[in-house]
Amino acid sequence: MQIRTIVNLPPPVRDASTVSSAPSAESRRISDDVAQARHTALSALTNDRFRAMLEQISDPAASGALMTMRGDNVVDFKSAQSSYADNSE
């Protein structure tokens, strides 16, 4: 003979004191980071120096020179090494 007991248990009750409608510290930090990024982006869009720099690096000749790290004037190894030594002191 088998005896089976079937019980319908109610779902667990959450403690209302642990659930808060206020944002957590992590959500506040993320929200602050997003706001700061938005402010920085808007500032960059209205900054004349930033705009001028973008125009310079978008020039094909300038971007090519930056990519290959070459300039119009060629510097020999000893001169470059001397300049590096002077600047690192």
DSSP, res 76: -
In a domain, 15, yes or no: no
CB neighbour list of residue 50: distance below 8 Å, 6 or more residues apart: 44
Domain range enclosing 46:
32-72
Section 48-73 average pLDDT: 74
**pLDDT of 29:** 94
Say how many domains are in the chain. Answer: 1
In a domain, 26, yes or no: no
Question: Does 20 have pLDDT greater than 70?
Answer: no
**Residue 51, helix vs strand vs coil:** helix
Q: Which sign does the torsion angle of CA 22, 27, 29, 30 carry? A: negative
In a domain, 64, yes or no: yes
- The CB density around residue 47, as the number of other CB atoms within 10 Å, is 12
Please provide the average confidence, as pLDDT, over all residues in the chain: 76
